[in-house]
């Protein structure tokens, strides 16, 4: 009556089942799918060179990740796709004219300083792509200045710069469809929203961060408009739809590793990014501030995690 061949039975801790199709790799793939509308707009506008830049940055990040892992004797984390994703985000956050050396250096810094020194995947304090982006924008100021956004198809400065200089706001329809100059990934509000909603529906990005970031910008923008007594041609919608706001809100600020864990922590994080972005845009010499806003809030994340511990169910209020 005993079963014939003794089976080798595993002994392991509960639970003994896991959600199907949920893995680190699939989450990275999901973000890439979410990025596809944005990548599509970039390729549509700038053709093969845009594709080349994305592939180059992705390949460079993958290469550096493998190299650093090997140097530090860590298991290869390449298969989970996070390095490729970093490369894509880096290329998408740079101007369409970014030269090869800028992409390569950005990738090296993103993976090396942004990720590997912290101990690799999951350990990094800052969003690696933004570390790389910040580095090249300081190292090659000309490479990310107004002139860098001049391409065949599009002439003129980015909407934010143009408005600062001439006071003429961009057409909203241009902002929606991305027919304005800008970084590869940031120009089309529609593409960012579509991809972002996909990520949120798939639960691959939190909804709290984009929502609170955009709501904060909306609020501050509205206040500014109320305060300005001259009729303002730059509307609140311009605030939200221009520059890296949507791209940053949906694809960069939501990077799980460098954002808080709890729901309230994420709301605070998003609000912080919003306030800082508004601050940089309003008071600094830079027309755009999303990148630095996110990096600064990344730095605050450990504090948020430490002090914003949600109350367990049933705890005294």
Binding site for other proteins (CB under 8 A): 1-7, 9-20, 22-24, 26-27, 77, 80, 120-123, 203, 206, 256-259, 261-263, 266, 305, 309-316
Tell me the CA end-to-end span of the chain in Å, nearest whole number.
58
Task: In angstroms, give the least distance from the CB of 166 to other proteins.
Answer: 43
Task: In angstroms, give the least distance from the CB of 240 to other proteins.
Answer: 25
Please identify, using beta-carbon distances, which residue of 11 and 142 lies nearer to other proteins: 11
Please identify, using beta-carbon distances, which residue of 79 and 100 lies nearer to other proteins: 79
Please identify, using beta-carbon distances, which residue of 45 and 82 lies nearer to other proteins: 82
Task: In angstroms, give the least distance from the CB of 1 to other proteins.
Answer: 4
Task: In angstroms, give the least distance from the CB of 38 to other proteins.
Answer: 21
Task: Confirm if 89 and 126 have CB atoms less than 8 A apart.
Answer: no
C-alpha dihedral sign at 227, 229, 231, 233: negative
Q: What length is written for the chain?
A: 317
Backbone angles phi, psi at 126, to 5 degrees: -105, 160
Rounded CA-CA distance 268/45 in Å is: 36
DSSP code of residue 202: T
Q: For residue 182, what are the contacts with CB-CB under 8 A and spacing of at least 6?
A: 95, 149, 158, 159, 243
Please identify, using beta-carbon distances, which residue of 266 and 281 lies nearer to other proteins: 266
Please identify, using beta-carbon distances, which residue of 23 and 284 lies nearer to other proteins: 23
Rounded CA-CA distance 111/132 in Å is: 8
The residue assigned the tokens 């550096």 is 64
Please identify, using beta-carbon distances, which residue of 81 and 274 lies nearer to other proteins: 81
Token representation of residue 197: 């909603």
Token representation of residue 136: 């090249």
Residue-by-residue DSSP string for 283-305: HSSSS--HHHHHHHHHHHHHHHH
Task: Confirm if 301 and 259 have CB atoms less than 8 A apart.
Answer: yes
The residue assigned the tokens 């994080």 is 269
Please identify, using beta-carbon distances, which residue of 138 and 313 lies nearer to other proteins: 313
């Amino acid at each position: 009556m005993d079963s014939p061949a003794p089976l080798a039975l595993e002994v392991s801790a509960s639970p003994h089942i896991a959600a199907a199709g949920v893995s680190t790799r699939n989450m990275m793939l999901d973000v890439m799918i979410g990025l596809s509308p944005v990548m599509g707009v970039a390729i549509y506008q700038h053709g093969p060179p845009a594709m080349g830049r994305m592939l180059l940055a992705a390949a460079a990040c993958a290469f550096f990740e493998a190299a650093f892992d090997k140097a530090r004797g860590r298991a290869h984390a390449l298969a989970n796709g996070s390095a490729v994703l970093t490369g894509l985000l880096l290329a998408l956050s740079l101007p369409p004219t970014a030269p090869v050396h800028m992409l390569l250096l950005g990738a090296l810094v993103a993976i090396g300083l942004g990720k590997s020194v912290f101990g690799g995947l999951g350990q990094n304090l800052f969003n690696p792509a933004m570390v790389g982006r910040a580095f090249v924008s300081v190292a090659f100021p000309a490479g990310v200045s107004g002139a860098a956004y001049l391409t065949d198809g599009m002439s003129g400065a980015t909407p934010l710069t143009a408005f600062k200089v001439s006071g003429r706001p961009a057409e909203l329809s241009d902002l929606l469809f991305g027919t304005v100059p800008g970084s590869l990934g940031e120009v089309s509000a529609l593409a960012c929203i579509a991809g972002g909603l996909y990520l949120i529906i798939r639960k691959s990005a939190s909804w709290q961060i984009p929502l609170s970031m955009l709501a904060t910008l909306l609020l501050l923008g509205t206040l500014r408009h109320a305060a300005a007594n001259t009729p303002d041609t730059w509307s609140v919608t311009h605030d939200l739809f221009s520059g890296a706001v949507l791209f940053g809100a949906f694809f960069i600020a939501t990077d799980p590793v460098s954002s808080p864990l709890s729901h309230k922590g994420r709301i605070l994080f998003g609000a912080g990014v919003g306030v800082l972005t508004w601050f940089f845009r309003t008071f600094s010499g830079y027309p755009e501030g999303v990148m630095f806003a996110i990096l600064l809030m990344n730095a605050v994340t450990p504090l948020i995690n430490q002090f914003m511990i949600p109350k367990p169910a049933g705890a005294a209020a």
